[in-house]
Structure 1
Amino acid sequence: MENGPEYRHHNVIRTDQPDGSILLTSGYEMSPVVETTGDWLHHWAEKCPDHVFLAERSGPGWREVSYQSALEQVRALGAALIARGLNKDTPILILSGNGVDHGLLALAAQYVGIPAVPVAEQYSLIPGAQAQLLHILEVIDPAMIYAVDGQKFAGSLGMDEMAGRSVVVSRNAGAGQTLLEELLRGDSANVDAARAEVGPDSVVKILMTSGSTSSPKGVMTTHRMMCSNQTQLADALPFLRERPPRIVDWLPWNHVFGGSHNFNMMLANGGSLYIDEGKPAKGLIDKTIENLGLMSSTLAFNVPVGFAMLRDAMKKDKALRETYFRELDMIFYAGASLPQDVWRDLEDMAREVRGQVPLMNTSWGLTETGPASLIQHEPTDRSGIVGVPLTGVTIKLLPNEENRYEVRVKGPNVMAGYHNAQDKTQEAFDEEGFFRTGDAMGFVDPQDMSKGMRFDGRISEDFKLLTGTWVRAAQLRMDALAALTPLAADLVITGEGRGQVGIMIVPGAELAASGALRDDNGVFTGDILQTQIGERLAELAKTAAGQSNRISRAVVLSEPPSIADGEITAKGNLNFRKIMMRRKALLDRLYDDEDQAVIRV
């Protein structure tokens, strides 16, 4: 990186234990940590009262809320919540997506010690997905429900299970519902006593896990977890403290990446969060592009497909390219490895605009770990490296096979447990108090700890072929997606108990819309598939080491994955096992050597 933002070199301490496990810690000391998120809000309201904290689109411009205004509204809302009898045992369920009112209400709840529970808005807006919402209502039993629009969310707000709960909306209130502006009219004088009872271990957010392998669990998130994690991140990324960061961000707040990592990074460092109502999907990416054209960011967070779509747009739009890179300190990808061609193109565009490359990186963690536990915080030239432990974090590595380890975590950013699920909590921690993540990793260079770790899949996703050979499904999936972009939007690795590895492909938008494809009872068929997909998989197979790393067959699904049927999680990820169970007949077709829809490699 040429003359980019200041960064810290990796510094890792390794301890080999008698049982064969390895402990990794940071060689840097952890900086002091504030006690609550409210401390950040008070600090910045005093230091830079007029600086923009939260903003959302309003007409041709933005509705902007300053730090001083945010503090005043948070205190008023907190007082109103306390006056209505809410407390640490009466959660607030937030149904709608990212928005200024959502952010202020969540912070108000944190300010006075009331757990807020943001959930994926599709659970409320897609009738078939309401089973997930009913499960969450049963687990959480909230006293108050918030939705931005009473009319838009009327279907869920009117369910019998909502009876007896207070309902607050920002607009279009129905019978018995309260407008959020009414909560802002009260006196905030009594809020200080409630705030004095709130401390680092107060549970102020409950984040639901994705539910990809079981029913969603509620992760009890404390002030200590959130405040520690932001201190750890700023220790690794010192430029966060040098100037207030600014982001234009779509990542959903019901997920720990958008709602804890990104939201709190702005609050902790006096930054500005401009809410992007778009996302990297057909029909919505144009809104993201419009928003990015209106406001430059200093940090860019996205998933790899999002960066790929933006790359394509910026190649055609010089003004967008200049606005995007003008002040950019960091490009941060998550969810999967960033394809190397996208990485290279982003570097080239950055050099063209400002003569230097931002720090290009990622980190690793889970909802239960705050989320960040490892981070790649010095420049690298390739994707897929998740880095080294953050300050205050201890990583335990248990050997799984040569240079592959099961990963466990301990630190102030790790949860105490799951909400109302003592049995699940006990299962989640080992005898030394380390959280069992279920992820696997390997060293980039086993002889040099400073090179960091690389992600090597979910241990629970690994399976054996009929030959007894293990298939590392997560890494194979990432390799296949890189080879098939943009023909494949996503895919499922198959083959457990069978003789060969196969894939079930979710087609990209352009491929799905192709007139050359024919629907054959749940799968697409056509010459274009046999040539384009078959040829790419054949090229990938040339580098495969053994049958377990070679994709030998594929089908392309004609029916999109369904969130209503549980095939897509709240995070937008595929639920692999659900897809294979629900589409068992198509899975059997994949392994039928006579089926003409199967792409054979």
Structure 2
Amino acid sequence: MSFDQSPQYRPLIFGVTRVKLRDGAPGTHYLQADQPLLPYPERMTDRLQHWAQTVPTRSFMARRVRQPDGSLGDWKHVSYGEAWQTARRIAQAILDRGLSVERPVVILSENSLEHALLSLGCLIAGVPFVQTSPAYSLISTDYDKLRHVINTVTPGMLFASDAARYGKALQAVATPEMELVLVEGELAGLASTPFDALCATPETPAVDAAMAATGPDTITKFLFTSGSTKLPKAVINTQRMWCANQQQMVQSMPVLAQQPLVLLDWLPWNHTFGGNHNVGMVLYHGGTLYIDDGKPTPALMHETLRNLREIAPTVYFNVPTGFEAIAAAMKTDAQLRKTLLSRVQMFFYAGAALAQPIWDSLFETAEQEIGQRIVMTSGLGMTESGPFGLYVTGPELKAGDLGVPTPGMQVKLVDLQGKTEIRYRGPNITPGYWRAPQETAEAFDEEGYFKSGDAVKWIDETDIHLGLKFDGRIAEDFKLATGTFVSVGPLRAKIIAAGAPYIQDVVITGLNLKEVGAMVFPTQAVRALSGLPADTSMHEVVDSAPVLAKFQQVVNELAKSATGSANRIARLCLLADAPTVDRGEITDKGSINQRAVLTHRADTVAKLHADELHYILKPQI
């Protein structure tokens, strides 16, 4: 019998645990993993072909079939053999149309089997595809960002899942030079091609010739940045980037290759986390991806929970709001606990800070169900890095810990504006932005390192092998009127932790003002706290006495630990209106865009600091 009281985790190997550090010019250091990057394929289609030949009947991807009444039925699977053959026919159709890097394929729609097959066809043909945010088509009313995408890449083909949902957007941006491809329906006044017609194209030897002509420098896709302050930029993604990054990932996370990989994932493919990281992972390792039509929102989370009761992933990725909902549901849902925890080897979160109470709840449930904790992991990456860049070195992760560089990527640490910026160089780094030479030149320093804009610190200065932790975005930091710098990232994390589980995210205010303020987006948990009926508006909920009392307590506790004006929340307000994708306040994967919120809610910021809001909470100590 063991008397060891330390937590017991389901076994998980961490691939990189040691680093090498060297000094450069004053204020500059270089960091890299203490192991080399192993060989990787020249193109992702090599992996697709390999799995199609070795495990042709294995499921590559599955999605629930949408019924005529809108409900979701049974899973429809596409095997590796089917995906390979269909993608080849689509590739022939793309070649027949003379599409190219100058006239790529733009995909407007959400994750789907057809979306995936079209992407694979583009890969085989050597023609880039451009996955755009569905919000640009479905939520936007002016279509400005969608037009910007179209103008930037000048597509020869536009793809959408159905005419009914995407019709207005297509009518707004389509030109005679673009062929419209639809899975369902037709559009009045606009000629279109059924997606099935692409899939039925007889292939010729041109398909193999086109694939053979692709290589490490071939552009696979253009992924657009979120465009917080300017219009989104088209990040060039090459075969080298994608393949190298997948090899880097498996060397950092050996679990990916230890058993047949199974993912259940909602993350949108127009973001690098879902589209590069997770879809690439499945292709590289011959895994199976179940497309989750749920989402970590009150309206759609039930679908994710339904899927997790049925599909047991081997590793599971989500954003903090998703894990929060799952942690709450597992307390009372026995089937969810049984399925999700049956074979999952690792949890991974990204996009925002994960509050400690959520971790504690996940750990407690797992210990009760299987006698072990599931390791929660995280790291650091961005669209321009493929995205995988840093990964943690052990199970004792704390919020904000990022870990060490993945093999083959060199990190440059540069003292800048009182912080340390992390910069990247390696085979997984983008060559630049499409048709934007000035922005590309500005993104790299004199040694060819990509300037991330992220600030980092050592987790423990006495042990560099533990790696780095997040210290905010340099561009988000600002000065008060006194000249004092406010470090936004760590302050946000501190507030979210203090207000858990009632804070979804927070935006810090006070640029050129005397005090630091905070605008809080509350979680749905405040509804129960308020004691009001379920259909009460969020405006009434946040104005209720129990909610205001709770956040007054949070403000008071934060003030007790403040050490000066730069980290003292002098005023706080609650925002009843959720952040919106259309205004760029929140990305498709759920992370807050601080600058966009400050821009679009400038009036609220001004009233917060002028004491003109209905309720402003200030420290009472």
Could you say whether these structures have the same fold, taking a TM-score greater than 0.5 normalized by the shorter chain as the test? yes
TM-score, structure 1 as length reference:
0.95
Is structure 2 residue 32 aligned with structure 1 residue 32?
no
Distance 1:569 1:9 in 2: 30
Residue 578 of structure 2 corresponds to 560
User: Where does residue 135 of structure 2 map in the other structure?
Assistant: 122
Which residue identity does 1:420 align to in structure 2? R
Tell me what 2:24 maps to. 17
Q: 1:485 aligns with which of 500, 509, 513?
A: 500
1:587 alignment partner in structure 2: 605
> Helix, strand or coil: the match of 1:461?
coil
Give the corresponding residue for 2:411: 395
Could you say what secondary structure the match of 1:201 adopts? Answer: coil
- Other-structure match for 1:279: 295
SS of the residue aligned with 1:409?
strand
Alignment: residue pair count: 599
After superposition, give the CA deviation of every residue in 1:404-430 in whole Å (9 maximum; x if it has no partner): 411110000000010100000000000
Distance 1:596 1:570, change over 3 A: closer
Structure 1 residue 587 displacement after superposition:
1.4
Match of 1:352 among 335, 358, 368: 368
| Structure 1 stretches lacking a partner, 5+ long | none
Question: What do residues 297-355 of structure 1 show as CA deviations (whole Å, max 9, x unaligned)?
Answer: 00110011110110000111011111001001110000123222211222232233333
Compare 352-361 and 241-250 and name the one that shifted more: 352-361
Q: What is the identity, as a one-letter code, of the residue corresponding to 1:467? A: T
Q: What is the deviation of 1:560?
A: 3.2
- Of the three residues 332, 351, 359, the one matched with 1:335 is 351
Q: Distance in 2 between matches of 1:559 and 1:341?
A: 25
**Structure 1 residues 381 and 123: alpha-carbon distance in aligned structure 2, compared to 1, 3 A threshold:** closer
The one-letter amino acid of 1:14's match is: L
* 1:53 lines up with 2:60 in the alignment: yes
Matches within 5 A, 1:337-486: 337-400=353-416, 404-486=419-501
Q: Give the partner amino acid of 1:95.
A: L
Alignment correspondent of 1:260: 276
What RMSD, in angstroms, separates the aligned Cα atoms of the two structures? 2.1
Offset from partner CA, 1:477-504 (integer Å, 9 cap, x none): 1221222234333221001111111011
Q: Does structure 1 retain, via aligned residues, the 8 Å contact 2:16–2:33?
A: no
Q: What residue identity is the alignment partner of 2:61?
A: L
Of the three residues 504, 524, 535, the one matched with 1:509 is: 524
Whether 1:198 and 2:214 are equivalent positions in the alignment is yes
Classify the secondary structure of the residue corresponding to 1:395.
strand
CA separation of 1:240 and 1:568: change in aligned 2, threshold 3 A: closer
Quote how far apart the aligned CAs of 1:385 are: 1.1
- The answer as to whether partners of 2:225 and 2:233 remain within 8 angstroms in 1 is yes
Preserved CA contact (<8 Å) 2:16 2:34: no
The aligned counterpart of 2:185 is 172
CA distance in 2 between partners of 1:587 and 1:529 (Å): 21
Alpha-carbon distance between aligned partners in 2 of 1:236 and 1:545, rounded to the nearest angstrom: 38
Residue 217 of structure 2 aligns to a residue whose secondary structure is coil
Q: Among residues 554, 558, 576, which one is paired with 2:594 in the alignment?
A: 576
Q: Is contact 2:413–2:420 with CA below 8 Å preserved after alignment?
A: yes
Q: Distance in 2 between matches of 1:355 and 1:70?
A: 40
Deviation (angstroms), 1:595: 4.9
Instruction: After TM superposition, give the deviation of residue 173 of structure 1 in Å.
Output: 3.0
Unaligned runs of 5+ in 2: 1-7, 66-71
Kindly state the Cα deviation for residue 77 of structure 1 after the two structures are TM-superposed.
Answer: 0.7
Q: Which residue of structure 2 aligns with residue 531 of structure 1?
A: 549
1:219 aligns with 2:242: no
SS of equivalent residue, structure 1 residue 266: helix
How far is the alpha carbon of 1:267 from its aligned partner? 0.8
Instruction: Note closer, same or farther for the CA distance 1:47–1:511 as it changes in structure 2 (3 Å cut).
Output: same
- 2:172 is the alignment partner of 1:156: no
Question: 8 Å contact 2:313–2:344 — kept in the other structure?
Answer: yes
Greater Cα offset, 25-34 or 551-560? 551-560
| Separation of aligned partners in 1, 2:481 and 2:527 | 33
**Which is further off, 507-516 or 134-143?**
507-516
Say whether residues 1:135 and 2:123 are aligned partners.
Answer: no
Residue 145 of structure 1, aligned match among 128, 138, 158? 158
How far did 1:467 drift?
1.6
Q: Which shows bigger deviation, 369-378 or 318-327? A: 369-378
Matched residue SS, 2:413: strand
- 1:343 maps to amino acid: W
1:160–1:341 CA distance, 2 compared to 1 (3 A): closer
Tell me how far 1:150 sits from its aligned partner: 1.6
Once structures 1 and 2 are overlaid, which stretch shifts more, 569-578 or 139-148? 569-578
Question: Could you tell me which amino acid in structure 2 is paired with residue 387 of structure 1?
Answer: G
User: Kindly, what percent of the aligned residue pairs are identical?
Assistant: 38
| 1:36-77 superposed Cα distances (whole Å, 9 cap, x missing partner) | 110010111122111111110125321111111111111111
* 1:212/1:569 contact within 8 Å kept: no
CA distance in 1, matches of 2:523, 2:14: 37
- Alignment deviations for residues 533-556 of structure 1 (CA, whole Å, 9 cap, x no partner): 111121122222222111111122
Checking the alignment, whether the CA contact within 8 Å between 1:237 and 1:377 is kept in structure 2 is no
Aligned to 2:340: 324
Q: Secondary structure at the match of 1:430?
A: coil
Which amino acid letter does the alignment assign opposite residue 22 of structure 1?
H
8 Å CA contact 1:376–1:385 kept in 2: the answer is: yes
Separation (CA, whole Å) in 2 of partners of 1:65 and 1:594: 57
Q: Does 1:299 align with 2:318?
A: no
1:494 to 506, 509, 512: 509
C-alpha offsets along residues 104-139 of structure 1, whole Å, 9 cap, x if unaligned?
111111121111110110110124251211111111
**Which amino acid counterpart does residue 27 of structure 1 have in structure 2?**
D
Aligned to 2:4: none
Q: Distance in 2 between the 1:153 and 1:401 partners? A: 45
User: What is the CA-CA distance between 1:378 and the residue it aligns to?
Assistant: 2.6
Between the aligned partners of 1:563 and 1:28, the Cα distance in structure 2 is: 40
